[in-house]
């Protein structure tokens, strides 16, 4: 029994996803996940996106960004210290919260701006916050050890640099460097400028 060949498929219409204009079969178009665009609309959209990206790095209020970073650093340090006080375990991975909180604080308080300057600010605040939190964590263990030994001891909440070095440096290990690197990476990448692919 002979079969009829299938009928040729009807050519489908393609319209520009932006302006809705019917695109000719031989017309240059740009195919994306969001549909096909005529070259004019695609270039206009790219120009708008470039302008939006440029504004993210302009008119940055660095003082308020610093306030946001410091607040994030305080929050992150308190989370790590609080975890240590509650569990009696110095789990350095919790310190990653510092990098995230600082990066988010800098970004939010700057009005969701993104720039290299904000990245540097965020990383600097995260570095100071990490080392201060490390002091608080170590201080907790020292004071507990003294109390268990029946000795009295005091360590200030805000040490001078010499005391900080004496408290923190003996217990600083290779894993602490790994956690510090992760903290700094989180603080660096969150306020990073958006890059437009070529």
Per-residue pLDDT of the chain (198 residues), as tens digits, is: 455 565 554 556 788 888 888 888 788 888 888 788 888 888 888 887 777 777 777 788 999 999 999 999 999 999 988 888 888 776 777 888 999 999 999 999 999 999 999 999 999 999 999 999 989 888 888 888 888 888 887 888 888 888 888 888 887 788 888 889 999 999 999 999 877 665
Q: What is the pLDDT of residue 2?
A: 52
pTM (two decimals) = 0.74
Q: What is the pLDDT of residue 172?
A: 79
Q: Name every residue whose Cβ is closer than 8 Å to that of residue 9 and which is 6 or more positions away in sequence.
A: none
CA distance 147 to 23: 80
Look up tokens 């932006």; give the residue: 18
46 CB neighbour count, 10 Å cutoff: 13
Domain ranges of the chain: 13-55, 62-189
Q: Is 188 helix (H, G, I), strand (E, B) or coil?
A: helix
């Amino acid at each position: 029994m002979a079969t009829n060949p299938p009928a040729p498929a009807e050519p489908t219409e393609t319209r520009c996803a932006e302006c809705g204009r019917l695109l000719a079969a031989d017309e240059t178009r740009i195919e994306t996940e969001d549909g096909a665009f005529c070259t004019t609309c695609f270039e206009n959209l790219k120009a708008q996106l470039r302008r939006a990206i440029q504004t993210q790095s302009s008119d940055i209020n660095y003082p308020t960004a610093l306030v946001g970073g410091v607040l994030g650093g305080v929050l992150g340090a308190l989370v790590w210290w609080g975890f240590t006080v509650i569990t009696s375990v110095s789990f350095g991975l919790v310190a990653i919260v510092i990098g995230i909180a600082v990066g988010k604080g800098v970004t939010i308080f700057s009005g969701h701006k993104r720039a290299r300057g904000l990245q540097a600010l965020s990383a600097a605040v995260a570095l100071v916050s990490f080392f201060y939190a490390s002091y608080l964590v170590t201080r907790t263990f020292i004071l507990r050890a003294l109390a268990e030994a029946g000795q009295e001891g005091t360590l200030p909440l805000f040490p001078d640099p010499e005391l900080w070095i004496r408290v923190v440096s003996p217990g600083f290990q290779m894993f602490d460097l790994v956690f510090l690197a992760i903290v700094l990476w989180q603080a660096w990448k969150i306020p990073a400028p958006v890059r437009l692919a070529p």
